[in-house]
Structures are given as C-alpha cells and as structure tokens.
Amino acid sequence: MTGMTRTTKRTSSLLGFLGPRPQKPDELMRVVNQTRQREIGARIAIADHGPRRRKGLLGRNGLDEGEGLWIVPCEAVHTFGMRFAIDLIYLDRRKRVVKIRHRVGPSRISGSLRAHSILELPPGTVAATGTQPGDHLEFHSPETPTAC
C-alpha cells in the first residue's frame, strides 16, 4: 500500500459513495428519484456512524411528509420498539433501487443482501412517488436546486 492504510481507503471509498455531505450533523439531505423526476424527501437525515445508526427512528412518534433517514452502509433494518409503520427503499452502491417494502409495521425485520444502504420514509412515500426497483436516486444538499 502506498501511503494509504486499509481504514483510510475504506473511509475514502465511503465518502465517495455519500457524495456531497452536509457540513453540520444536524443538516439534512434532499433525495430525488432521478428516473421519475420526483422528490422523495427534502429533509433526509444521515445515519452513517454509531450513535445515529443505533438510535435510528426510535423514540419518534412518526415521520412527517418529506422526512426520512438514510442508513449507510446497511443491508437490513428492524422496527422493534417503533410506534409507526415506514416505507423502505434499499439502494445499491450506485444508488439504484434494488428492493422496496411498503408500510413495514412495528416489530418486523427486513433486509436485502444486495443493498448497501436503506432509506426509511413515511408510509405511502414510495407509492406517491412511483419509485420502483431499478430507479436511480440522487442525494443533494437541501439548497441545491434540481429539475423535478
């Protein structure tokens, strides 16, 4: 290895996958289904490290329209301890949709070995946006204008 440790390479690779990142932990991402030209959510939080990944959506009473959580990397989630249903979008490393689950209720487990990350969204979001496996999603800063 020429000057880069395995950890550094792994971190660099993850940062490349995440694309533009918010500068502050409380900033959010905007997610757009590029294939369908539909906004998935304007206030998507990122769970990419220990404390945020462990807490997830636990302790919340629900998600408002436009809200969500992007867990990366992630192949499976559970809804034990949650009080509401969620829609799930499983993404590969290129941010292509590989699997969708509608209205996953509390006390359930769902996963996909092909997934690299998962979007947790308010129930009905997937149907409302027409998102399907094979669609390509893009992640932007909330201020970034896109053609939707």
**Integer Cα distance of 106 and 86 in angstroms:** 9
Amino acid at 25: P
What is the chain's pLDDT, residue by residue, as a tens digit (148 residues)?
444 444 444 444 444 555 554 444 567 999 999 999 999 999 999 998 887 777 788 878 899 999 999 999 999 999 999 999 999 999 999 999 999 999 999 999 999 999 999 999 999 999 999 999 999 999 998 766 655 5
**Integer Cα distance of 88 and 6 in angstroms:** 31
Does residue 145 fall inside a structural domain?
A: no
Residue 103 DSSP code: E
Does residue 60 fall inside a structural domain?
A: yes
Instruction: State how many domains the chain has.
Output: 1
- Structural domain boundaries, residue 30: 6-140
Does residue 120 fall inside a structural domain?
A: yes
Does residue 1 fall inside a structural domain?
A: no
Does residue 148 fall inside a structural domain?
A: no
- CA distances to 47, 51, 144 from 54, rounded to whole Å, are 9, 5, 29
- CB atoms inside a 10 Å sphere around CB 21: 12
- Single pTM value for the model: 0.79
Length of the chain: 148
Does residue 19 fall inside a structural domain?
A: yes
Does residue 81 fall inside a structural domain?
A: yes
Q: State the CATH number of the domain containing residue 49.
A: 2.60.120.1140
Does residue 147 fall inside a structural domain?
A: no
